[in-house]
Chains A and B, each alone.
Chain A
């Protein structure tokens, strides 16, 4: 009986305490990633990303829709081909109030997925290193998360615990982040404050899956796609010897 009373009291207290929603400021940050060209150097075009965030929600959008291709011939006569698949629709929405992270992604085989995930589960360690990005002082933090080691530069002067893609959880907005392999890279492009802009979760439709399932499906679909392409090339290439080897990498690895 006593336990029930305590529970009821806590529930009532929680119900009456409302978070402060009055001070709403929206910040928009653009990031980019240089795209590696086949055989060295970088493409002129970059992949572009945009984050809009308030302390209470955020939307991160992959802006680059077009595909890029870069081909070079290796010394042994083989071709090294790199594809950068643009994103027709790809976003990450975070709702800290509901402790929800939703990613919407269209796969290589044009399947649409809504992937649910936790918000900012990474454990950051703040480093001594400091620098400025376009005049804004930032501090370095590092973490190991889902198979990658990340370096992030966050701005304590912008107290929003958020960042590009799924990254966040630091006492300041992440302006720059990259992993040690330089495959997941978000470099700072621009920053501005939006007046009166509201952030809404896009109403995209797709199959709702867990991250685990999505990663499995994504790899399977990619491999299937390139098997298919290889078979097609073989059937049309006559006497040419076609041997396609595909290196599949993911931004996240759960195992």
Chain B
């Protein structure tokens, strides 16, 4: 009896789940005169006609057998010279669905001859433009443009979405030859679907203004995206909605519109998972669209900052836990042939709650001092920016461009600190930052003749930053420290340039004038701990004004395989500082600035570049060791109240080899920078918090060596990448006693990656990185140093068994060793799954922080001091998502 039951069960299972359940439609295809039609095509479509389900070919006698899963849909029989016939299976009685005969009426078959005018090849180069046909490089697992771009030979994408082509940064991304995304192109590259892309072009030496194309020495690289003809629609895009545990949600919409010459994009999302690849808050930092009006513009800065809230190993999605609302809307509108209007706008509102704890004990010199920060750090971040451009073609040889930009940004931060010893106390830090910017710029281009163009440029820039910093003690009712800062910078710029071309020689001659006024006010309270820093109180309120006049000449020319370029700037500056009713004539001097070099195009694949420059007083920000653009005259004034001429120099040797046919990319560069006068961040540790300021240092130099290899291995269906980095940064710092200290920072890093890019159902990738750094300070008779190292391992796994299913698992592990002390290994991961339905809908499950060590510790040990910082990571989040593509 038991055996019988088993047999019946087997039969039951076979009957229900085996392929024997598949059905067959049989029949015959004949002409009206009942002669058989040989080799007719039979295709079973979905009833809505969107999707082919099954197909077969009739035999030479017109008989066919079509295995199908279900007896439903629309069966079409067709053959050359006959009118196709269609049968909707549902219209037939069920008993007649498995036997369907066709009689096709003869018709005249007329095929319209076509011939392609342009050969479609996977990759081609024409002048400065490289064109990739997307279909040759896509494997169907790409969600957005960025995923596709990563697969093109010679390209790479940074964590922040910056695209590099042959080692050079892509500055703009165009859609159908129009600048729709502005400089912050991740709005497009992280939201536009990859499957609508027809071609991707990289255009080097790009110049948008047609009047300047022949004469301008441009080094700008842009990427242009062409959309498939059948996808150019009034509205296309996708949207998604997700909800899950614990109390998590995410929703997003990406809309694109192409209507005639006009284009629009609208993207937005709301979430509390930090899972969106778009980060408007970081996009906001440098403005979304406006090209820098004229060099040397600078923004005012904040003086007080709360401590850095996260170590560099952690990504914001792993530790920040709050609501995000963000959106961007861009539009290119062509009301007439001669007028083009572009509008870019973005806005965001973040609320971050960051759970972090730190513990610090300083036993040096018998301090016996320790404190513990146990409160959550909270941040409110809001921003709004709108930029509008109007480009008017006055005539065939003249055009005018007007820019208007307005932006507002506010950050409110809050951090609590509990002091454990010697007295138990709780301090609360509150920081409110507000910034406002508005910029007007007018640019007029006039073509004088076929070889020369005149450009007039004028800009007015107004930037203001306000800051309110409060430090409260729980034992006192009022703020212990209340400090208000206001920093206003106004620039008025005028620039006249003559650009010309003679043969391969391109030249430019410019005259530039700038009036800059700068007002800084700081209002400290009576409880003035800041005054412990000697010299700081001198500049709590001052006004600064400079007139700046410069003559600039530059040229580039091609001699054989070499391209020479050179730029010489001769400037005169008069700067005046007013401080407490005292006017100080800070500087009135001429200065030179010179840069020259050449690039050698050894052959079509290899380029060699050598360049160097010497500058006086105002080297470009990149040439300074310590970086950010707001290292400025103001900083110099803060340090010394006067400006002394100084020199800086830099040099670069670079080699690039790019062989697309062999799918090989190789580059190496050596950069040297030196300046005899530079600045570094200095923290004035005032009790419990740090006030950051710039400190004048005497000089320093920086050597950087970079090497990278990228090779596609067809045999392994994989891309192999190797990156090497090495740098030595040497700074000479003046100590508070005026004695020189030498600080040496050495960093070495190696990264190896292996990523499969084949078209099968699996894709895997693994990359490992190892970095070593050492910090050594050499004083007079004193030397101290620390060593750190860090290893990280990232791996991903993609499974795409067919066009509908998609699984992606990304995990990473981090092992940190600081000064011989191991931090906990960190293991994080995200799993994304989706199923694409036939009608454009998709559904899926996302799990963030699949594995999560929950707490990340970072320990530091220096002498008898000890500190421990720990971040409570975001919990595991499980979300059910639905989306729609149209």
Q: Mark A residues whose CB is within 8 Å of B.
A: 14, 17-25, 27, 30, 32, 34, 36-42, 46, 54-56, 72, 75, 96-97, 126-132, 134-136, 139, 142, 149, 151, 156, 158-161, 169-172, 178, 180-182, 187-193
CB-based A-B contact count at 8 angstroms? 166
The interface residues of chain B lying within 8 Å CB-to-CB of A142 are: 759
| A56 engages B35 (CB within 8 Å) | no
Q: Does B121 lie within 8 Å of A187, measured CB to CB? A: yes
Instruction: Mark interface residues in B38-70 (1 if CB within 8 Å of A CB, else 0).
Output: 111111000000011001110011100000000
Given A42-B121, A135-B114; A161-B35 close (CB under 8 Å): no
> A39 to B657, Cβ gap below 8 A?
no
- Interface locus among B105-113, B336-344, B486-494, B700-708: B105-113
Please give, as numbers and ranges, the residues of chain B lying within 8 Å of A41 by CB-CB distance: 124-125, 604, 660-661
Nearest residue, chain B, Cβ from A125: B802
Q: Are A132 and B230 in contact (CB under 8 A)?
A: yes
Query: A170: which of B55, B60, B120 is its contact (CB, 8 Å)?
Result: B55
- CB pair A20–B31 under 8 Å, yes or no, is yes
Q: A223 vs B119: C-alpha distance in the bound complex, in angstroms? A: 33
Cβ of B27 to closest chain A Cβ, rounded Å: 14
List 18 extra interface pairs beyond A56-B39, A130-B230, A191-B114, CB under 8 A. Answer: A18-B35, A22-B35, A25-B109, A34-B119, A37-B661, A40-B604, A55-B38, A96-B38, A96-B60, A97-B38, A126-B55, A149-B759, A156-B43, A156-B52, A159-B40, A159-B84, A160-B80, A193-B111
- Chain B residues positioned under 8 Å from A139 (CB to CB): 52
Instruction: Please name all residues of chain A whose beta carbon is closer than 8 Å to the beta carbon of B714 when the two chains form the complex.
Output: 181
Q: Is the CB of B57 within 8 A of A161?
A: yes
Most buried by B among A21, A39, A130, A131: A39
- Does B14 lie at the interface of the complex (its beta carbon under 8 Å from any beta carbon of A)? no
Given the complex, which residues of B lie within 8 Å of A24, measured CB to CB? Answer: 81
Q: Which residues of B (187-245) have their CB < 8 Å from a CB of A?
A: 195, 228-230
* Contact indicator B57/A169 (Cβ below 8 Å): yes
Assembled-state Cα–Cα distance A122/B604 (Å): 40
- B78 interface hit (Cβ, 8 Å): yes
Q: B829: shortest Cβ distance to chain A, in Å? A: 29
User: Which of A25, A40, A171, A192 meets B658, CB within 8 Å?
Assistant: A40
Question: Can you list the 10 inter-chain pairs with the closest CB atoms, starting with the nearest?
Answer: A23-B81, A190-B115, A19-B38, A192-B113, A171-B41, A34-B121, A159-B78, A20-B35, A193-B111, A171-B55
Question: Which of these, A32, A36, A54, A136, contacts B114 with CB under 8 Å?
Answer: A136
Q: Which residue of A lies closest to B53 (CB)?
A: A126
Q: What 1/0 mask marks residues of chain B from 112 to 156 whose CB sits below 8 Å from any chain A CB?
A: 011110011111110000000001100010000000000000000
Find the A residue at minimum CB distance from B758.
A180
A203 CA to B124 CA in the complex, in Å?
Answer: 40
Chain B contacts of A36 at CB under 8 A? 661
Which chain A positions have C-beta within 8 A of B838? 128
Q: For the complex formed, measure the closest distance between the CB of B68 and the CB atoms of chain A, giving whole angstroms.
A: 14
Q: Which residue of chain A is the closest to B115 with respect to CB atoms?
A: A190
B168-188: CB near A (< 8 Å → 1, else 0) gives: 000000000000000000000
Q: Which residues of the partner chain B approach A130 to less than 8 Å between Cβ atoms?
A: 230
Nearest CB of chain B from residue A58's CB, rounded to whole Å: 11
Among B31, B114, B659, which residue has its beta carbon within 8 angstroms of that of A134?
Answer: B114
Find out whether the CB atom of A20 lies under 8 angstroms from the CB atom of B119.
Answer: no
CA distance A34 to B717 in the complex (A): 22
Q: Given that A17-B61, A18-B36, A55-B39 are known contacts, is A42 also in contact with B124, CB under 8 Å in the complex?
A: yes
Q: Which residue of B lies closest to A80 (CB)?
A: B662
Query: B803 in the interface, Cβ–Cβ < 8 Å?
Result: yes
Closest to A34 in B: B121
What residues of chain A lie closer than 8 Å to B55, measured between beta carbons? 126, 170-171
Nearest B residue to A169, CB-CB: B57
Q: How many residues of B contact A (CB 8 A)?
A: 64
Counting chain B CB atoms within 10 Å of each CB, the highest count among A38, A126, A128, A129 belongs to A128
Q: Are B605 and A187 neighbours in the complex by a CB distance under 8 Å?
A: no
Confirm or deny: B163 has a beta carbon within 8 angstroms of a beta carbon on chain A.
no
The answer to whether B82 has its CB under 8 Å from any CB of chain A is: yes
Q: B60 contacts A19, CB within 8 Å?
A: yes
Q: A32-B119, A171-B43 are in contact. Are A56 and B111 (CB under 8 A)?
A: no
Closest to B228 in A: A131
Residue B453, interface by CB 8 Å: no
13 contacts between A and B (CB under 8 A): A17-B36, A19-B35, A20-B31, A20-B36, A23-B79, A27-B80, A32-B119, A128-B803, A169-B57, A171-B52, A187-B119, A189-B116, A190-B114
Contacts of B759 in A (CB 8 A): 142, 149, 151, 180
Residue of B80, B121, B122 with highest tally of chain A CB at under 10 A: B80
Contact across chains for B38 and A56 when beta carbons are under 8 A apart: yes
| Closest residue of B by beta carbon distance from A55 | B39
Closest A residue to B39 using CB positions:
A55
- Given contacts A126-B55, A158-B111, whether A40 and B662 have CB atoms under 8 Å apart is yes
* Contacts A41-B604, A158-B111, A189-B115; A96 near B124 (Cβ below 8 A): no
- Are A19 and B62 interface neighbours, CB within 8 A? yes
Checking A40, A46, A127 against B660 with a beta-carbon cut-off of 8 angstroms, the contacting residue is: A40
Contact A171 B228 (CB under 8 A): no
CA distance A36 to B659 in the complex (A): 11
Query: Residues of A contacting B798 with CB < 8 Å?
Result: none
Contact (Cβ within 8 A) A193 B114: no
Give, as a whole number of angstroms, the nearest-CB distance from B49 to chain A: 11
CB of B810 closer than 8 Å to a CB of A? no
Residue numbers in A under 8 Å from B229 (CB-CB): 132
Q: Is B324 interfacial (CB-CB < 8 Å)? A: no
Q: Is the CB of A19 within 8 A of B660?
A: no
Indicate whether B37 reaches chain A with its CB closer than 8 angstroms. Answer: yes
Chain A residue nearest to B139 (CB atoms) is A180
Q: A192 CB to closest chain B CB, in angstroms?
A: 4
Distance A56 CA – B61 CA, assembled complex (angstroms): 12
Give the shortest distance, in Å, between A146 (CB) and chain B (any CB). Answer: 16
Inter-chain contact B111/A161, CB cutoff 8 Å: no
Residues of A within 8 A of B51 (CB): 128
Pick from B78, B120, B657: contact of A187, CB below 8 A.
B120
Output the nearest chain A residue to B81 by Cβ-Cβ distance.
Answer: A23
User: Which residues of the other chain, A, contact B52 by a CB distance below 8 angstroms?
Assistant: 126, 139, 156, 171
Interchain CA distance A25-B106 in the complex, whole Å: 12
A19 vs B38: C-alpha distance in the bound complex, in angstroms? 6
* Chain A residues, Cβ within 8 Å of B110: 193
Smallest beta-carbon distance A125→chain B, Å: 8
Contact of B60 among A34, A97, A132 (CB under 8 A): A97
- Tell me which residues from 57 to 109 in chain B have a Cβ below 8 Å from any Cβ of chain A: 57, 60-62, 78-82, 84, 106, 109
* A19 pairs with B84, CB closer than 8 A: no
Q: How far is the CB of B537 from chain A (nearest CB, A)?
A: 61
Q: Would you call A23 and B80 a contact (CB within 8 A)? A: yes
Smallest Cβ-Cβ distance to A190: which chain B residue: B115
Docked CA distance A25–B62 (Å): 18
A39 touches B661 (CB 8 A): yes
Q: How many Å from the CB of B524 to the closest CB on chain A?
A: 63
